[in-house]
A and B are shown apart, each in its own frame.
Chain A
Amino acid sequence: GEDVEQSLFLSVREGDSSVINCTYTDSSSTYLYWYKQEPGAGLQLLTYIFSNMDMKQDQRLTVLLNKKDKHLSLRIADTQTGDSAIYFCAEIFYNQGGKLIFGQGTELSVKP
């Protein structure tokens, strides 16, 4: 089945690390993505991980993939107020063209 779940809210203090979690149900996905959406804007691709990888680091962002538990996480180090936004995880399937399946989004609030 196609289902991606995320917790809805996360609040952190500026300078702390943020960890946003996501679970997915279909193990045949090929890529897993993290997108950021600021108010009134489109989706910004933050990072992605191929399904045969366990971890990917990109500056302040670290993505961890646990295929056994179908769990994906995004860690943002040294979180800043500018990181406040909604974060979506999404998966895509090799045999379904460009169909992204999104989670509900996690609203990250960063307090100074």
Chain B
Amino acid sequence: RKEVEQDPGPFNVPEGATVAFNCTYSNSASQSFFWYRQDCRKEPKLLMSVYSSGNEDGRFTAQLNRASQYISLLIRDSKLSDSATYLCVVNRQSNYQLIWGAGTKLIIKP
């Protein structure tokens, strides 16, 4: 079983719609969780950290469910510029190593 699993997609979504991704992780001792965004042939960029109480940043909402060991990302009012691959990232707790999911590809269509 992979340490971090994501649905690879692609998710084809019309502009303006709401879309949600989930990610599951296997290490119950993980403490830190992140969503990154990666555009084609570019380095990943931090989208948001995920906190236990859930957090929101504009159109983006992240949730953490420790009991079920999954993380979610919700994007409201999707824009064409949201098209990218969204990577779920979990820390390994030793030496600040991050473990990456394979990413979920999102395509926003006009």
A, B co-complexed: no
